[in-house]
Amino acid sequence: MRLLLLAFLALSFSSFAEQQNEEESKTAAFENLSAKAWLRNMSHALQQQQFKLSLIKLDADQIKPMVYLHGRVQEQEVAFLEYLNGPPKNAVRVNNTITFIEHDKPPYSVSGGRIEGLWPAVFAANIERLEQGYQFVLGGRSRIAGRPGQVIRILPNDPHRFGYQIWLDMEHFLPLRFDMISSERQLLEQILAVELIVLQETPSLLLEAYKQKWPLVMNHTERQQGQDWQFQWMPGGFEVVVRDLRRLMGSDSSVEYIALSDGLASISVYVARAGETPLPNELVATNGLSIATERVGNVEVVAVGKVPPATLSRLAQSLTLE
């Protein structure tokens, strides 16, 4: 009887192996996809698919539940993002106009291709933009939100920025999980889908959002041209996106502002008259957001962004006036 049991054990092991083989052949179609092809498919899916995604965002010590709706109305993208906890906070995007509806201020619109606060804008745009700073590596598979997911790692080419990991739904290529990871492999920020529903019909909410008259896009022409500050050093892939001279929000001091981006990480650099109390040289928050300050005479250079603090320090130090 015991020998029988042993035989049964051996049999069950071999049949288990066969099952695995079957599953592998089923997913063989995906085997040929490179990491970049997966990301390209994601970019396409984020623009074309109609879906409802319930997700949570882990940011520092906060957990923010959100719902994201995306659809297409008359060949235009319409998206809706709602923060579910706390005071009502929504964002609506109709094509390239994003309107923020927040409880404490009148709705305002900006122009842009993606609602900020969810996936990086580049995910629904040109993935090639990231290739200067990152490598795409195919990872394993795991189950997210009840669906099989394919892991794609976006590894930084240098230690000047953080790494990212993204889990894509194997059926629809929509992102199910997005992690920002420090070089010590510490999780800094995470967006985690709880439920993904791919819709056949456009949800009525988006149809209404499309018909709704939204405030006009805020005018950006008042941005003044700043002085010609140059970075002597910039990590590969980073580019100056915006530069201007303006008044700092909630403050009466005017600053020179330069925005840098490598597609995933964004850095703001401010040049301002130094305050009475020197700011700390480097400061790091739990979600990876860092601040570095460099004081030059009576001017302080402040760099803010979700990159390692050493990068910010080096950037701030390398800023010179041409």
Site residues for another protein, 187-226, by CB under 8 A, read 187-190, 192, 218, 220
- C-alpha to C-alpha distance for 242 and 186, rounded to whole angstroms: 31
Question: Among residues 171 and 208, whose Cβ is nearest to another protein?
Answer: 171
88 sits near another protein (criterion: CB under 8 A): no
125 sits near another protein (criterion: CB under 8 A): yes
Task: Please select the residue that binds another protein; options are 55, 69, 92, 98, rule is CB under 8 A.
Answer: 98
Three-class secondary structure assignment of 171-234: CCCCEEEEEEECCCCCEEEEEEEEEEEECCCCCHHHHHHHHCCCCCECCCCCCECCCCEEECCC
The type of residue at 117 is G
User: HSE on the CB side for 98, CA within 13 Å?
Assistant: 16
Three-class secondary structure assignment of 261-300: ECCCCEEEEEEEECCCCCCCCEEECCCCCEEEEEEECCEE
Task: Please select the residue that binds another protein; options are 197, 216, 248, 321, rule is CB under 8 A.
Answer: 248
15 sits near another protein (criterion: CB under 8 A): no
Closest contact distance (angstroms) between CB of 168 and another protein is: 12
Question: Among residues 52 and 114, whose Cβ is nearest to another protein?
Answer: 114
11 sits near another protein (criterion: CB under 8 A): no
Bridge partners of residue 55, in order along the sequence: 66, 193
**Per-residue binder mask for another protein (CB under 8 A), 131-150, x = binder:** --------xx-x--------
Question: Among residues 63 and 321, whose Cβ is nearest to another protein?
Answer: 63
Site residues for another protein, 295-314, by CB under 8 A, read 302, 304-305, 309
Stretch that binds another protein, among 68-76, 206-214, 225-233, 244-252 (CB under 8 A): 244-252
Site residues for another protein, 56-85, by CB under 8 A, read 58-62
283 sits near another protein (criterion: CB under 8 A): yes
Closest contact distance (angstroms) between CB of 10 and another protein is: 9
Total interface residues for another protein by CB under 8 A: 82
* CA 167 to the chain's CA centroid: 13
How, if at all, do strands 134-144 and 105-111 pair? unpaired
Stretch that binds another protein, among 72-80, 179-187, 203-211, 230-238 (CB under 8 A): 179-187
Stretch that binds another protein, among 67-75, 197-205, 208-216, 255-263 (CB under 8 A): 255-263
Stretch that binds another protein, among 18-26, 70-78, 126-134, 201-209 (CB under 8 A): 126-134
50 sits near another protein (criterion: CB under 8 A): no
Give Cβ neighbours of residue 101 (< 8 Å, ≥ 6 apart): 88, 89, 90, 91, 92, 107
| Secondary structure percentages of the chain, helix, strand, coil, to 5 | 20, 45, 35
- C-alpha to C-alpha distance for 245 and 227, rounded to whole angstroms: 8
Place of tokens 């804008």: 121
**Per-residue binder mask for another protein (CB under 8 A), 24-43, x = binder:** ---------x---x--xx-x
